[in-house]
Amino acid sequence: MIFSITRGPIAALCLAVLLPATVSIALAQGRPALVGVAQTERMLFTETVPVLGRLVAPTQAEIATRIAGIVDDVFVEVGNHVTKGDLIAKLNSELLEIQKQAAEASLAQSDALIKVANANLSKTKQTLERAESLQESVAFSRARFEDLLKDEEAARGAVADAEAQMASARAALAQATYNIRNTEIRAAVSGVVLVREAQPGEYLQIGSTIVTLLNDGDLEIETDVPTEVIGSVSPGQELRVTLDDGTEHSAIVRALIPNESLSTRTRPVRLDPVFNGTDKPLAAGQSATIHVPVGAGRNVLTVPKDALVQARGGWIVYVAVDGKAQPRPVTIGAAVGDRFEVLTGLEPGLTVVVRGNERLRPGQDITFKEAQPDKDEQATPSADRSDGDAVRKTSGVGATPRSGG
């Protein structure tokens, strides 16, 4: 660097300022630049298309009465969460208790009748046996013997009648017990009360709805997948899902419904989601974006997005070779998670600069400590394809290369 020195106080001041700065720059340029690095890697890349879906509750139950009666009380309100087996409402059981007592009395009476009928039958059989033993004697009477046979038959009939009355009494008691038990209406499933139909004092017929429950703990995802990509979806397959709050989750394909819509050319698909935490409570009807694969995955070479530096005419990546920074012009493709696909210019296993590369010069000495990959980079990435164009969307954080300074 050449300086033209002019005599005078101003020139002297300028020289005093410029000389230390020049020396400082020269010294800095003589030291290796401290940078962060990472590796070029091959990754399985799957191109996907975003399909809008919604959360649905496969279980929505109308809890109804099994008997007729007057409502004594309803213990839940709209919005309450109940667990399976919780008491929801109570019907009046006063009359049913009386009916149960009558059935118990009838059962006791029939039991007594059976005992009397069995005693008469036993007595008749003894008399018949004594008459039968006299058949060879002059005291035997054929007419009397035949009357005793008929008496035995009648006694057996009385026993059968008493047993039938007991069976009827038992059935009446079982029905009374059933009715009393069902005056307590309990939740058949766990869920949230969506609608409350019954009110205290109201008379309900059999099958009248008390409340409607939505099982919010067992939500599924329902979506309509375009027929052109349905071949890439199969039961048991894991897909990426984005909720409307931006959180990322996964879902397992449960079923492909063989019912194609002629107007939209789509087929319904049901998925079992695996939620990893979200900023707001989940609800039936909530929207979700399912990232449906367009085809089979392909193995691509990638670099972290921070390795890319914009230069004249395109992008470059600084590669660490023998302690020096060597620029490599590259052609990039789709965003792959927090990385970019490299189409030309690099090979697998290279060490590339990802921190401090904005002000590097070709051939400059560098020293580095290899950077650790982010957790998000460990997963198999995918990219979403907009309808018919070449725009790519990333999984999670947007991968946008930075310009050189």
The SS3 of residue 322 is coil
pLDDT (tens digit per residue) in 154-167: 888 888 998 999 99
Task: Give the pLDDT band (50/70/90) at residue 14.
Answer: very low
The yes-or-no verdict on residue 374 having pLDDT over 80 is no
Other Cβ atoms closer than 10 A to 330: 21
pLDDT surpasses 50 at 268: yes
Report the DSSP beta bridge partners of residue 264.
none
**pLDDT of amino acid 403:** 52
Quote the radius of gyration of the chain (alpha carbons, Å): 44
Residue 395 has pLDDT above 60, yes or no: no
58 in Cβ contact with 395 (< 8 Å): no
Instruction: Name the residue among 255, 194, 248, 179 with its Cα closest to residue 220.
Output: 255
Can you tell me the distance from the alpha carbon of 203 to that of 72, in angstroms, rounded to the nearest whole number?
10
Q: What is the mean pLDDT of residues 182-195?
A: 93
Quick check: helix, strand or coil at residue 171?
A: helix
Q: What mean pLDDT comes out for the span 221-225?
A: 95
- Whether the per-residue pLDDT at 9 is higher than 90: the answer is no
Average pLDDT over residues 117-130: 84
**What are the tens digits of pLDDT across the range 87-114?**
999 999 999 999 999 999 999 999 998 8
Strands (E), 114-219: 184-186, 191-196, 203-204, 209-214
Share of the chain above pLDDT 90, in %: 54
> Rounded distance, CA 403 to CA 405, Å?
6
Please compute the mean of the pLDDT values over residues 257-278 and round it to a whole number: 91
Which segment of 131-140, 259-268, 295-304, 389-398 scores lowest on mean pLDDT? 389-398
**Spatial contact of 273 and 219, defined as CB atoms under 8 Å apart:** yes
Distance, CA of 107 to CA of 172 (rounded, Å):
9
Q: Is the pLDDT of residue 172 over 90?
A: yes
Q: Enter the DSSP assignment of 7.
A: -
Question: What is the predicted pLDDT for the residue at 317?
Answer: 96
As a whole-number percent, the residues of the chain with pLDDT over 70 amount to: 83
Q: Is the pLDDT of residue 364 over 90?
A: yes
pLDDT band at 396 (very low <50, low <70, confident <90, very high): very low
Please give the single-letter amino acid code of residue 291.
H
Residues 154, 222: Cα–Cα separation, whole Å: 71
Query: Does residue 376 surpass a pLDDT of 60?
Result: no
Contacts of 338 (CB under 8 A, 6+ apart): 304, 305, 374, 376, 377, 394, 396, 397, 399
pLDDT tens, 41-81? 998 887 888 999 999 988 888 999 999 999 999 999 999 99
**With bands split at pLDDT 50, 70 and 90, how would you rate the model's confidence at 327?**
very high
Burial of 199 (C-beta count, 10 Å sphere; 0-12/13-18/19+): exposed
Strands 402-403 and 308-311: parallel
**What integer pLDDT is reported at residue 133 of this predicted model?**
77
pLDDT tens per residue, range 126-144:
887 777 777 777 777 777 7
Q: Coil, helix or strand for 194?
A: strand
Across the range 245-272, mean pLDDT stands at 93
Read off the pLDDT band of 381 (50, 70, 90): low
pLDDT averaged over every residue in the chain: 82
- DSSP β-bridge partners for residue 301: 42
Residue 401: the pLDDT is: 60
Q: Report, as an integer, the average pLDDT of 310-320.
A: 91
pTM of structure: 0.55
